[in-house]
Structures are given as structure tokens and as C-alpha cells.
Structure 1
Amino acid sequence: MSASTGSAVWRQPGQVWAVAFACVVAFMGIGLVDPILPAIADSLEASPVQTELLFTSYLLVTGLAMLVTSWISSRIGAKATLLTGLGLIVVFALLCALSGSVDAIIAFRAGWGLGNALFISTALATIVGAATGGSGAAIILYEAALGLGIAIGPLLGGILGEVSWRGPFFGVVTLMAIAFVAVLVLLRGPFEKRAPVPLSAPFKALRHPALAILAIAALFYNIGFFVLLAFSPFPLGFGAMGIGLTFFGWGVALAITSVWVAPLLLRRLTRTAVMLIVLPLLALDLLVAAVFVTIPTALVISIIVGGLLLGVMNTVLTESVMEATDHPRAVASSAYSAVRFLGGAAAPPIAALLWHAFGPSVPYVFAALSVLIATATLAIGRRRLRHIDAIEADIADEAASVLVGDAA
């Protein structure tokens, strides 16, 4: 990153800061419920499997909605899509806060996932369209918002969760309402008109062998990601604040490697080489977590080390998807994200079932094996991925396509 680009990041009009702030809050939602999972289970007399479905409903709907967000935003426009997404998050987060049963929260988290998909699938392209200083500055600002949101979410969840499990949900309602007003007032066009995207576009994109390989690998990789994120609060045995601080460290680690370490590695190694190095290390880290699951300090270290590795993988996978096909990159990114979110949706309840049946180590073994399947998928399909190593991603095109690539 050049000095001029670095300084340009912070010289942005108000409408860019409005969307960036909303991005921070939206990404906070990924880890916000983490610290309050045990409290929800206790207060609402829910089983661990039921509690983990809070992630599943959110991620499943987010992923499926990704298949239609390009179609929607290309017809109603960026601002309307952003406001619709933010409005849905406000409504469903409020309903979560007011709920009296875990089943109701599971259902409302699904609505939250729909809002999240509409918002995050449009936010980056909007920032790029309104930012000053070029696409490079816009992408850095977006990645900074991503990292800040992922880090702050668990911390805020822990702080508010110490008062009540409802607290984090009310916190999101307040912050997202502020973001809604900011976007409504500050985001002004005109924006470049997009050609209508066919509803079938994401499905056609997944027929491309390279994108299919990356999507399958990401599905299994996301199982490892969300076992670490969604299951770990239970064996840690901490209160809401302890869990929040642990995953604040995880989020900071993920942000650091996503924004700074991954680009450094990619200057020296090809994309597939980086992934084939980092994935086995992630599997090893998960196996260490399985062995030392009863020692809180060791488990905390494994979680934070996992964050370091996940940050690299998120960035490299995103860049790889951008170069995988000749389809519009926003369409390819949405199609890929829809598949990988299915892995994230399945992982939490499966981990809870394995824990109940076999003990707390087995979910981490399951996650490690899933990550190794992702590694094998990339290794077997590497010949189909040669072109992603031969092409340097154009930063202007990158802006239009990352979308949700780093969001989970």
C-alpha cells in the first residue's frame, strides 16, 4: 500500500463513512451471539443443538439469499438494496431481543440473515462508487470495516451479555438504526446503472470447473471456521465477558492477517500454494484444540492462532474466486458464497451433536477432517486452478467483486 493510497483512505465523503459504519455493524453480527450462547441455553432451557441453530438459520438464509441479491440490486438500485437490508436487520434483531423462546430467535435470525445478505452484497460496490482516492483506498477502507466489525462483535456481545442475553440484540438494533438513518440521509447518487442480472446467473457460474472446485473447498473450510467460532464458547466454560474477550482476540488476529499478512504472502507465493500451506496448518490447530480442549488457556491460544490462519484463507480464497471465471465477478462471488455458507450453516449443530454423543474433542476432529477434505479438493483440482496463479487481480475489478468474500 503506497503512502498516497494510505492517506486517501481517510479522506472520504460522508456517504462513504455512512456505508463503512454500517459495514462495521453488519460484520459485528457474525460473532455477536457467540458470548451469549451458553446464557441463551440456560435462560431459555435450550439444548446446545438448538442454540447452535442460531448460526445455522442465519447462515443458511444468508447463503441462499446470495443467489438472488445481484438480481435484486440490479433492478432496485444500490441505495434501496442497502436500506432494505439494514431495515430487515433492525426489525429482526429487535424481534430476537423480545423473544421468549429459542425457536423464535432461530426463526428471527433467519430474517436477520436475509437482511445481512442484501446489505453486504451491495456495500462494497457502493463504497467504491462513492469513494475518493481510487479503488485501492476504497478496498482498504472496506477491509478495515470488516476487521473492526469481526473483532468488536464478540467484545460487545460479551459486555452487553453480562447484563442480559438480550443486550447484544438491543445493541445491534440501536447501531443499525443509526446506520439506516446515516445511509438514508448521506448516501446520494447518481450511481452508475447496472445492467439487469439474470436470476440464473449464479447457477451458471457454478458450472465453471474452477469456481466449483473453490466453492466445494470453501464449503468444507467453512465447517472448520464455524466449529471454531460457534462451538468453542461451550467447552471454554467462560462467562459472556470471557468469551467476548477471547473472540475479540480471534477477530483482531483474523483482521491483521487478512489485511496485512495475506498480501505479503501473495507477493512471494502463488494463491494455490498459500492455500495448500495454510489449510493443513489450520487442521493441525484444530487437532491441538481437540487434544487440549479441557485446558482453557490452551483452547484460547488455539482459537486465536486459528484466527490468524482464517484471515489468510479468507483473503486468498476471495482473490482466487475473482480470477476463477469470465463471469461478472460480483455474480461469481455471490454464487461461491452461497455454497460456502452452507458449510457454515451445517457445522454448529453437527458439532453440538458430536459433543453430546462423544465428548468435546470430537467436534474439533470433525472440523480438522473437513479442512483436510478442503485441502484435498484444492490439491486434486489444482490443474483447473492454474490460471488463478497466473493472473494478478486488477484492483478496480476487485472492488466490484469481493462483496461478501471476506465476511465469513
Structure 2
Amino acid sequence: MWPLVEIPPDWVLPNAAMVNWVFPNNTHIHWTLMVVIYPYITGLVAGAFVVSSLYHVFHVQTFERISNFALIATLCFGCFAAVPLLFHLGQPQRALEIYFTPHLTSAMSIFGYVYGSYMLLLMVEVWLTYREYFTEQANRATGIPRFLWTMLTLGVTKYTPDSARIDYRITTFLAAVGIPLAFLLHGYVGFVFGSVKANVWWATPLQPLIFLLSAISSGIAMLLLLYTFIHWRSGRPYDFAMIRWLMSFLWLAFILDITIELLEVVYVRYEHGHHWSLIGPLLSGPLFYSYIIGQMFVCSLIPILIGGYIVLTRVGGKILLYLANISCLLVVLQVLLMRFNVVIGGQMISGSERGLVPFHFDWFGKEGVLTAMVLLSMPFVLYLIISRLIPIFSDTGIAHQNSSG
């Protein structure tokens, strides 16, 4: 009988009624810039620690001069890795309850234990690495400085060759244990996003691997940028052989990272199923400039070409330095864009699966752009303070360079 009934025009839905339609309670993006820079900083932690471990564990002698620099940089980034989450929380004063009320089936709860264990390991490794220097300063200083240096030595002001050998073996062991811990610290972030089955932009088993490879790439790139800036400011000579080796590792890690990122999107595009009906409009719409142009073309293609030129040719001197820094700067920006596109882009897909939620930058709020810039700068401020207290690039009083085990 229905075909014989005339439907009033007011009952007919407009042609675009179900296009770009979102649920009324899904009109805002809740995980904003703080959740973007949180995995970014943890990625720098993992990547910088890998460079440090290449010498301390795998004995790659080329990285001997920057091994302790990478270790201190890891500590500086690690100290602020969880701070963005505190800004994001509605009640940050309850953050420590994650340790007192364990919930072992929650991936987010496990982060507290992994992060706490890793930071404890990192601080012990740094302390053992510089224990000889602390002892020398405690024996040389007088008054209040002597008291402070003695506190850092825990009251032990004698340092012998046997002490150096023991410290070396312990730090090597800690560095070896720290590698899987660092990978777990950052891989868990990818696991959290990849396990959200309801979000087609996040739900992929490749997410932890993508986060890990991008973390290694960004950590290496950031270290090289810091190394160049510090040596430029202090007038120290550059180690071009080390820069070339570092660029080789960066090029390899970045190629693997981009390959897997592209495979994820190409697979969904080739399958052309329901997922692509949501991801396609997302990439061609609000994420076109940040993902297609910024992340994939400008900040991915150019570093790969520059890195290939550096690795496959005999370029050296200032040209090597300039090209390496351009490549590293683009890699750092690429990983930051990747974090933005994953975190923000995934939330743009409405729960209705029929529309996209807009995102607007907040410049001066608690989770705004200004707050994000301040938090991103804090690890560098901490590094500046630490570099005034201990010799980071000097071999004096550092147990790793004085003992061969």
C-alpha cells in the first residue's frame, strides 16, 4: 500500500541531510594539543636513549663522544614526558593514585608503572655515569658546595679503578634493560590508539610499530639538531664522521617509518571498504594540508632524498652539516605532524560515521598553543641547567670512557 500513498514534501529529508551529520554530544574534540605533545616527548625519550645505547650496549665507537649527551637529553625529555597529561587531567592532583590503586587490565594504568620504572633506571644510570665526577668535585670543593657534591655521592668520596669497572658493568646492564623499557614506554602509546576498535583511523595493529619507528627517527633528529646548535654556540669542532653515521641510522629508521605509514593508508585505500569511506574524506578534507602536503610530501619526501644523498655520496664539511640539519628539522616536524594527525584526526571522525568534527586551535588556554610551546621548551631549559653543573661533552671523570669492563 505504501507506493500508493503520497508523501508530503515536508516529510522528505533534504539531499544532504545525512552528510556531515554528527551526534549532538560529539561536536567537540576532547583530546587536544596536550595529548599530541605527550607522545611526541615520549618519542624523543625513546629515540635519544637508542643513540646512547648504541655506544653503551652495542659499543659503536663512533657515538662515544655523544653517548652521555644522548643520556642527559633522554633524562631531560623524560622529566617532562608526563607533564602534558597533568595539564590535560581535570584533577591532576589525583595523578599519583595510579600507583596506589593499580588497575592492571588498563593500558593507561600500566603507563604509570612503565614510566616510573624507566625514569628510576635512567636516573640511576646517569648517577653511575657521573659518580666519578661527583667524587672529584666533593673532594675539591669547600663549604656548602662540598656538602652538596657529597650528597650526590651518597657519602662515598673515594673512587677506585675497581669502582669504575663495577659502575661500567652496571650501567651497561641498565642500558640494555632500558632499551625494551624505552620501547615499551612509547609503544604502549601506539597500543592505546591502535586498540580503539571504534575508530577506523586508529584501529590498526601497525600503530605501535609506527609510533616506535617515528620515535627513533625524531629522537635521532632532535639530538643532531641539539648537537649542532651547542657546538655552534660554543665554537667546538664538529665530528663529521659521527654526523654521517647518525644520518645513516636516521635515514634507515625514517624510511621504515614512512613505508609502514604509507602501507597502512594504501592498504585501506586498495581494500576500498567501509573504512575508506570515512578515511578518504578525512584525508582529502581537514587533514589534506597537514597530512598529504605537510607530513607526507614536504616533511617526508625531502628528508628521504637529502638523507639518501648524504649516505650514498661522499659529501662532507659544511655542506654535510647544512643538509643534515635541514633533513633533521623536517623529520622533527614530520613526527610532530604525525602525532597531530593521529590524535586530532582520529577524533574528527564522528561517532555517527556520517560527518567530521571541526577542530579549532586554542591559543591561550590550559591546553592551548602557548602552553604547548612552553612545555616543549622546558626540556631544553633543564638541559641548559644540567650542562652548567656537569661536563656533558667532556671525557673528564666519566666512568664509561675510562673503563673497558
Higher Rg = 2
Greater fraction of residues in helix: 1
TM above 0.5, one fold?
no
TM bin, normalised by shorter chain, reads 0.3 to 0.5
TM (normalized to structure 2)? 0.34
